[in-house]
Amino acid sequence: MSKMTHIKVLGLALFAVFAFSAFTAASAFAVSEWLWEGNPIGVGVELATHTVGTLVLDVLDATGTVLINEIDCSGLFEGTVGRGPVDLVLDLFDLLGNLIEELPGTSSLTCETLFDEGGPEGKACAVGAESLLWVEELSLSLGLTWESLIELVGTTFLDHFHHVAFELKCLLLAGVTLESLCEGLTSGTLTNVAPNVLLQFGPEVGVESESLHCINTVGGAEQPLTFVDLSGDLIIEHTTGGTLAVS
């Protein structure tokens, strides 16, 4: 083989490697999108959605290893999906249809405390006492939304929320009220369960997600930082029916 022929063969081999690498990268990061009745949503079209179900807040201590509380919150998120991978959460309602406000609003979501660690310092929310939740930076009337982006990783669709925030108040075992501001990034999985889409959070569905960080106060005095891990199942549906899906 001549030197020139060898160079040509090597060049073709390198081209093939680069082409395959580009194809693999493109496949791994293929753009995901929302579908309506099996087709991409039209340009400029926004479909109204309801996301309803129960989220479990697993409250962890400052080390992120000891479970302090398990708090169940059921509600309905109003939102939209449009062309491409973006979906928006616009407002939160309780299951009776009451809008959940930001503080200092009086309308809060009543959650159920199912577990407390019962330590001698009494720093856990008491089982049986009300835990009240207000949204933070979420209000359609104020132009505040939570945005998420869907992504296909392998065979799993992920929904990445860029920012989630809420304020929580509860009565501690010590008999005083704890106020917590929790916020951060989180991700869940999306599964097509026609005619709707199932949104799931938690390690049991194979998602590694960041914990929300919580700043805590009692009577205005700062308390140790805590973390919240989310888990639970919610159904995303179009408000007027029909088949919604991800692809």
Over residues 80-96, the pLDDT tens digits come to 999 999 999 999 999 99
Tell me the whole-structure pTM to 2 decimals.
0.85
Q: What is the pLDDT of residues 34-65, one digit of tens each?
A: 999 999 999 999 999 999 999 999 999 999 99
Same domain, 63 and 5: no
42 and 114 belong to one structural domain: yes
State the number of CA atoms in the 13 A half-sphere of 16 facing the CB: 6
DSSP code of residue 7: H
What is the three-class DSSP state of 112?
strand
| Whole-Å CA distances, 239 to 41, 85, 148 | 15, 19, 19
For residues 23 and 35, state if they share a domain.
Answer: no
Q: Are residues 56 and 69 in the same domain?
A: yes
Q: What is the mean pLDDT of residues 122-147?
A: 93
Distance between CA 114 and CA 21 in Å, rounded? 50
The tokens for 155 are: 């065979």
Q: Indicate if the pLDDT at residue 32 is higher than 60.
A: yes
Looking at residue 85, the DSSP 8-state letter turns out to be S
Domain match, 5 and 105 both = no
Residue range(s) defining the domain that contains residue 234: 31-246
Residue 156 and residue 26: Cα distance in Å, rounded?
16
Domain count, the chain: 2
Q: Are residues 36 and 26 in the same domain?
A: no
14 and 35, same domain (yes or no): no
User: Are 117 and 25 within one domain?
Assistant: no
DSSP annotation of 13 reads: H
Residue showing tokens 């960080």? 213
In the numeric block, which tokens belong to residue 245? 């899906």
Is 8's pLDDT higher than 90? no
Preceding amide of 195 cis, omega within 30: yes
Please check whether residues 140 and 208 belong to one and the same domain. Answer: yes
**Do residues 157 and 231 both lie within one domain?**
yes
Please give the Cα distance from 71 to 119 (Å, whole number). 17
Polymer length of the chain? 247
Q: Which residues, at least 6 apart from 108, have a Cβ–Cβ distance to it below 8 Å?
A: 100, 101, 132, 133, 134, 169
Distance separating alpha carbons of residues 47 and 61, to the nearest angstrom: 40
Q: Round to whole Å and give the CA distance between 212 and 182.
A: 6
For 216-228, what is each residue's pLDDT tens digit? 999 999 999 999 9
Mean pLDDT confidence for 58-81: 96
Task: Compute the distance between CA of residue 157 and CA of residue 160 in angstroms, rounded to an integer.
Answer: 10
CA 146 – CA 90 distance, rounded (Å): 7
Q: What is the mean pLDDT of the chain?
A: 88
Neighbours of 167 (CB within 10 A): 19
Contact 245, 236 (CB under 8 A): no
Question: Is residue 146 located within the same domain as residue 135?
Answer: yes
Quote the DSSP letter at residue 107: -
Whether 172 and 234 share a structural domain:
yes
Percent pLDDT > 90 in the chain is 77
Q: Is it the case that residue 12 has pLDDT exceeding 60?
A: no
